[in-house]
Structure 1
Amino acid sequence: MDQRFPKEEKLKSRKLIEKLFSEGKSISRFPLRLVYVKTEFPGTAGVQAAVSVSKRKFKKAVDRNRIKRLLREAYRLNKHQVKERIGTEASYAFMILYLGREMPEYRKTDRKMRELLHLFLEEEAGEGKF
């Protein structure tokens, strides 16, 4: 089980991010929201992910960066659920948004991330995508 979060798995393409918000589907498990779209990548990564925190809710960059670190860590440790299920048949772009108004604890963030990824798998498996 690979628990790294290499550069190939990070979503950086501006075009893909725009496509994500215009055509993507969304799942929420407060305080997290997952926006995703099925796509094709030129590399071997099955999923590319990015995280975002609202500047309106968290004015200080220090707070936003801390939350983004927590989200990336929770995703990194739980991404194997998704990778095992989708395999190499499909590729997805993920944007994970933090919707809460207070600084999260890691345990709660990790639990909600697991629930969110599980919901994603249920929804996509229900539609027969993989």
Structure 2
Amino acid sequence: MYTFKKEERLCSKKLLDQLFSSGSSFLVYPFKVVYLREVLPVNYPSQVVIVVPKRRFRRAHDRNLIKRRIREVYRLHKHDLFYSFLKERNMQILLSLQYVGKEIVNFSMMDKKLQAVFRQLNKIYSEDGHKDN
């Protein structure tokens, strides 16, 4: 249950281009979230890409630390807060989590903010009139 498999990662160049060209976005600092409802080639409710800019964090070990923390928080909360919501509505979405903070935040802060991201996505897709497909 608490896994983060290769199939859940967004690697397809075609889908990435589609996400960034026609996806919608919102900001929950330190995350900028880009999302797009799409039929995915895998049997998971969502595929995610995690982005930490090299321009802001020059050292690879800093970028890797941030990405590891984001992946861990995503892995811990995706089933309870996100996948269950998408499955009951029979939806699949592409998701980009871009770290736009200027400093490295601790794990508990990242945990709280990513839960807020999931709640925001659930709120967006629970409104009946929202269609971005």
TM-score by length of 2: 0.91
Q: How far is the alpha carbon of 1:8 from its aligned partner? A: 1.1
SS in 2 for 1:95: strand
Distance in 2 between residues matched to 1:36 and 1:74, nearest whole Å: 18
RMSD value over aligned CA atoms?
Answer: 1.5
Q: What letter corresponds to residue 87 of structure 1 in structure 2?
A: K
Unaligned runs of 5+ in 2: none
TM-score by length of 1: 0.93
SS in 2 for 1:49: strand
Distance in 1 between residues matched to 2:41 and 2:16, nearest whole Å: 16
Q: What letter corresponds to residue 114 of structure 1 in structure 2?
A: Q
1:86 aligned partner:
86
Contact 1:34–1:94, Cα closer than 8 Å, also in 2? yes
SS in 1 for 2:20: helix
Distance in 1 between residues matched to 2:56 and 2:120, nearest whole Å: 26
Query: How many pairs are equivalent?
Result: 129
Distance in 1 between residues matched to 2:123 and 2:109, nearest whole Å: 21
Q: How far is the alpha carbon of 1:40 from its aligned partner? A: 1.1
Q: How far is the alpha carbon of 1:127 from its aligned partner? A: 3.5
Unaligned runs of 5+ in 1: none
Counting only pairs closer than 5 Å after superposition, residues 12-91 of structure 1 correspond to structure 2 as 12-80=11-79, 81-87=81-87, 89-91=90-92
Q: How far is the alpha carbon of 1:105 from its aligned partner? A: 0.4
Q: What letter corresponds to residue 116 of structure 2 in structure 1?
A: E
User: Could you tell me the percent identity over the aligned residues?
Assistant: 33
Distance in 1 between residues matched to 2:118 and 2:9, nearest whole Å: 17
Distance in 1 between residues matched to 2:129 and 2:61, nearest whole Å: 41
